[in-house]
Amino acid sequence: MYVAVKGGERAIENAHRLLAHERRGDRDVPEVTLAQISEQLSLGVDRVMTEGSLYDRELAALAIKQARGDMIEAIFLVRAFRATLPRFGASEPVNTGEMQVRRRISSTFKDIPGGQILGPTFDYTHRLLDPQLAEGFVPEQPATAEAPQTPAPRVTDILGRDGLIESSPQAEPDAPVGDLTREPLSFPADRDLRLQNLARGDEGFLLALGYSTQRGYGRNHPFAGEIRFGDVEVEFFAEDAGFAVPLGSIELTECQMVNQFKGSATEAPCFTRGYGLAFGQSERKTMSMALVDRALRARELDEEARSPAQDEEFVMSHSDNVQATGFVEHLKLPHYVDFQSELGLLRKLRQEFAEANDTPELREAAE
């Protein structure tokens, strides 16, 4: 009975062996391949890359496989690997205005230069389970058309030309990029660190917080100005070469929310912005992120911050699911030393209570 409490080296080894066995499942069923996960569970891979802060489909697929489909565990695996990677530097800022758009919608205008492109989306599907998909279903080839030659400028840039939306703050080109994985976070945090925190933050947590702003807890009147998903080029300024060299392209989803306007005696009223960005196709994540980003700008925009989504310390300290799951689950570790201390105190207090109130049963039980 004591052994069960203390555990031991052999118990750990055996538990790991059993885990590997359970992970494999029925050995008569073929094993899933990383390519299958990457190709057929691609949105899961996108989420693991986004919250894991590492753009590597193969490693994310491996993490999902190793984690038996537990997304937070997979994100954790990727993060732990990422922490050991050397840093060569920061890329040039990506230009999402030049994205090779695969999907792009705006809810604020009927039509926009470059057009509304529905792309691959669950939107407007009827959520009926499809028995055809159970096995061997070969979908039709997608419809194709000539790629449009017209550029697709960002909707917020179109609004910005008329001054209808606040201008996007421009970063100092020579200022170092904030990185909360390299420097400890302190409060108040600037928007670059807030956005980094939100980009790594748990999708479910941000979804709930974003939703809470829509229900009146820090309402900010959002419109989905634009959501775009596609490929963008990543460039790195090579000191040796003296110019920026392309590293490759990555898939990104960007959401620009257009929010309630502000103005004052000296400033003409204009819309404000909320911003979301994630790897792969992650629309729920980027929309939630944009809502929370806007809510967290309360201080900067002189709004009264009264709701959880507007509270920077609250949001940023609790958004990280790897931190959250670790601390919640650490309650599984033995705590019997502290518990013993509490138990001793409680027994003493109960005994004193019993003596003061002269209840012998309680006194006996306390002793």
Partner 1 sequence: MNAPTYNFAYLDEQTKRMIRRAILKAIAIPGYQVPFASREMPMPYGWGTGGVQVTAAILGPDDVLKVIDQGSDDTTNAISIRKFFGKTAGVATTTSTTDATVIQTRHRIPEAELHAGQVLVYQVPIPEPLRFLEPRETETRRMHALAEYGLMHVKLYEDIARFGHIATAYAYPVKVNARYVMDPSPTPKFDNPKMDNCAALQLFGAGREKRIYAIPPYTTVVSLDFEDHPFTRYRFDAPCALCGADNSYLDEIVTDDRGGRMFVCSDTDFCEQRQAAGHHGTERAAPHKEKAHV
Q: Which residues bind partner 1 (CB under 8 A)?
A: 1-3, 5-12, 56, 58-59, 62, 76, 79-84, 86, 181-188, 313, 317, 322-323, 325-330, 333-338, 340-345, 348-349, 352
Tokens for 76, please give them: 């954790």
Q: Which is nearer to partner 1, 219 or 318 (CB)?
A: 318
CA dist 252 and 257 (Å) reads 16
Rg (CA), the chain: 26
Residue 51 C-beta: closest distance to partner 1, Å: 12
Q: Which is nearer to partner 1, 105 or 354 (CB)?
A: 354
CA dist 283 and 207 (Å) reads 11
Residue 184 C-beta: closest distance to partner 1, Å: 4
Q: Is the Cβ–Cβ distance between 301 and 272 less than 8 Å?
A: yes
Q: Which is nearer to partner 1, 42 or 317 (CB)?
A: 317
DSSP state of 141: P
Q: Residue 77: which residues within 8 A CB-CB, separation 6 or more? A: 52, 63, 66, 67
Residue 139 C-beta: closest distance to partner 1, Å: 29
Q: Which is nearer to partner 1, 291 or 295 (CB)?
A: 295
Residue 187 C-beta: closest distance to partner 1, Å: 5
Residue 212 C-beta: closest distance to partner 1, Å: 19
Task: Please say whether the dihedral angle defined by the alpha carbons of residues 87, 98, 195 and 163, taken in this order, is positive or negative.
Answer: positive
Q: Residue 66: which residues within 8 A CB-CB, separation 6 or more? A: 23, 74, 77
Residue 41 C-beta: closest distance to partner 1, Å: 18
Residue 98 C-beta: closest distance to partner 1, Å: 28
Q: Is the Cβ–Cβ distance between 298 and 273 less than 8 Å?
A: no
Question: Under the phi-then-psi rule, with left for phi > 0, alpha for psi from -120 to 50, and beta for the rest, what region is 57?
Answer: alpha
Q: Which is nearer to partner 1, 302 or 338 (CB)?
A: 338
Pairing of strands 243-262, 223-238: antiparallel
Q: Which is nearer to partner 1, 261 or 314 (CB)?
A: 314
Question: Under the phi-then-psi rule, with left for phi > 0, alpha for psi from -120 to 50, and beta for the rest, what region is 249?
Answer: beta
Residue 248 C-beta: closest distance to partner 1, Å: 14
Q: Which is nearer to partner 1, 15 or 301 (CB)?
A: 15
Q: Which is nearer to partner 1, 120 or 326 (CB)?
A: 326
Q: Which is nearer to partner 1, 82 or 102 (CB)?
A: 82
Residue 134 CA neighbour count, 13 Å, CB half: 4
Q: Measuring CA to CA, which residue among 269, 303, 241 is closest to residue 165?
A: 269
Residue 349 C-beta: closest distance to partner 1, Å: 6
Helix (H) or strand (E) holding 324: helix 321-329
Tokens for 36, please give them: 């299958």
DSSP state of 309: G
Q: Is the Cβ–Cβ distance between 72 and 322 less than 8 Å?
A: yes
